[in-house]
Amino acid sequence: MQRKLRLRKREDFSRIYRNGKSFANSQFVVYWSRQVQADPIRLGVSASKKIGNAVVRNRMRRLVKEIVRHQLDRMNGQLDLVVIVRKPAVGLEMKELEKSMLHVLKRAGLLKGSKQGQ
C-alpha cells in the first residue's frame, strides 16, 4: 500500500470513528467514511496489544494492507477506511483472512456491485 494511501493521524481515525459507519465480523471491524480527497481509498489499520506482541500486530497490519491492496479495483472509491483486527484473526491463514475481509467489506457495501454503502 502506497504511503499516500495510508491514514496515520489520530484526528483522521477519530473523525472516522465518530462520523463513519461500521460493520464487523469475528475477525475484523471496518469503519468507513466518504472523503473527496481519498482517491481511491485511504486505509488505516489498528491492532491492539490484546492480539499479541509487536511482531504479531505488525504482521496482521501488513496482511490487512496487502489484502486491501489486492481488492482496490473491486472497491468503491473515495473512502477513508479503518480496519480493526480482532484476536480470532491471528490464527488464520492468508486465504481465510482474505475471505473474512471480503465478507465484512461486502456486508458494509464497500465492494462494487454491493448495495448498502453506495
pTM of this prediction?
A: 0.91
Overall average pLDDT of the 84-100 stretch = 97
pLDDT at position 117 over 60: no
Residue range 3-100, CATH number = 3.30.230.10
pLDDT tens for 27-61 read: 999 999 998 876 788 999 999 999 999 999 999 99
What pLDDT score was predicted for residue 40?
82
Domain locations along the chain:
3-100
The arrangement of strands across the sheet holding 21-24 comes to 21-24, 28-34, 79-85, 41-47
Q: Specify burial of residue 110 (Cβ count, 10 A radius: 0-12, 13-18, 19+).
A: buried
pLDDT band (50, 70, 90) for residue 116: low
